[in-house]
Amino acid sequence: MRIRLLVAAAIAMSAGALPMAAQTHKAPHWKYEGKEGPAYWGSLDASYSACSAGKEQSPIDLGGPVAVARGALDERFTGSTFVLFHNGHTVQAALDQASTLTLEGIPFKSLQFHFHHPSEHTVKGKAFPAELHLVHKGAKGTLAVLGIFFSESTADNPALEPLLARLPVVAGDSVKFDSPISIGTLLGAKEGNENFFLYHGSLTTPPCTEGVQWVVRERPVQASRRQLQRLIKVLGENARPVQPLNARH
């Protein structure tokens, strides 16, 4: 059984480009705190207007009106080399080989993954220590994002260790992973049906472009406290607060 989106027609909506590619001029700097923080993003620049005026913004609280759906994730994960870099807002991996996520028969190719602390999405008001976003792009420019929570366990997660051991810690730094890493193993992918949250939203950073298809897995990836602390130390707090559901319930 494949995951089926709530409204198939929404796949045709234009989601725009990724944050850096979306700018046709030098957009102002934004942060996660102070006068350049999330509450002010929409007023920093006209290209950021969706951050305050949009009606389908992300992240959101899940598990209430946005109920869980059950199915098999239709993603063919591919091992990939990548450059892991610190862009000043998060640690992001630019993938050399793409995985393919299929939603309603539409294929989306993975571009990159990045991390947030704490989790941007919450489940019935509860946040997780971290969240990974695997960003995909369709042939017509539409975006789909697979969200994966991280929770604390008593043991190290061996699949995460190669990545966490080489995290770039300073904005502008990058690390090249020349040996392919299995993205499916990294995300704890498994066969069969499980629970996901499906909804239509936006990018969670400026310009907050809407029309993004979100698939957030209910089951988290387990990581030890030591591993999570390593990630959190590098990330700092970089999560946008949950946004109103508006008509999406």
Per-residue pLDDT tens over the stretch 180-217? 999 999 999 999 999 999 999 999 999 999 999 999 99
CA–CA separation, 78 and 110 (whole Å): 10
Q: What is the mean pLDDT of the chain?
A: 90
Q: What angle do CA 62, 67, 73 make, to 5 degrees?
A: 90
Confidence at residue 40, expressed as pLDDT on a 0 to 100 scale: 97
Confidence of residue 179 (pLDDT cuts 50, 70, 90): very high
Distances (CA, A) of 192 to 157, 183, 189: 22, 17, 10
Distance, first Cα to last Cα, the chain = 24
Segment 137-143 mean pLDDT:
95
Residues 214, 215, 220, 226, CA torsion sign: negative
Tell me, what's the pLDDT at 14?
30
Answer positive or negative: Cα dihedral of 22, 8, 108, 103: positive
Structure tokens at 83: 């450059």
Whether the pLDDT of residue 177 is over 60: the answer is yes
Cα–Cα dist 137/156, whole Å:
32
Across residues 61-87, what is the average pLDDT? 94
Structural tokens at position 221: 């990836």
User: In the chain, what are the domain boundaries?
Assistant: 8-240
| Active site (annotated) includes residue 89 | yes
Q: What's the predicted TM-score (pTM) here?
A: 0.90
- The CATH-assigned architecture of domain 8-240 is Roll (3.10)
pLDDT for 248: 83
Give percent of the chain above pLDDT 70: 90
Q: Residue 1, Cα to own-chain centre: how many angstroms?
A: 24
The identity of residue 209, as a single letter, is T
Q: Which of 89, 116, 121, 200 is catalytic?
A: 89
**Mean of the pLDDT values across residues 21-46?**
85
Cis link prior to 118 (omega < 30° from 0)?
yes
211-231 mean pLDDT: 98
Question: In the block, which residue shows the tokens 């450059």?
Answer: 83
The arithmetic mean of pLDDT across residues 53-71, rounded, is 95
pLDDT surpasses 90 at 2 = no
Q: Of residues 238 and 17, which shows the higher confidence score?
A: 238
Q: Residue 20 has what pLDDT?
A: 39
> What CA–CA distance (Å, rounded) separates 158 from 155?
9
181-197 as b/e, with b when 16 or more CB fall inside 10 Å?
bebbebbbbeeeeeebb
Q: Copy the structure tokens of residue 172.
A: 């502008």
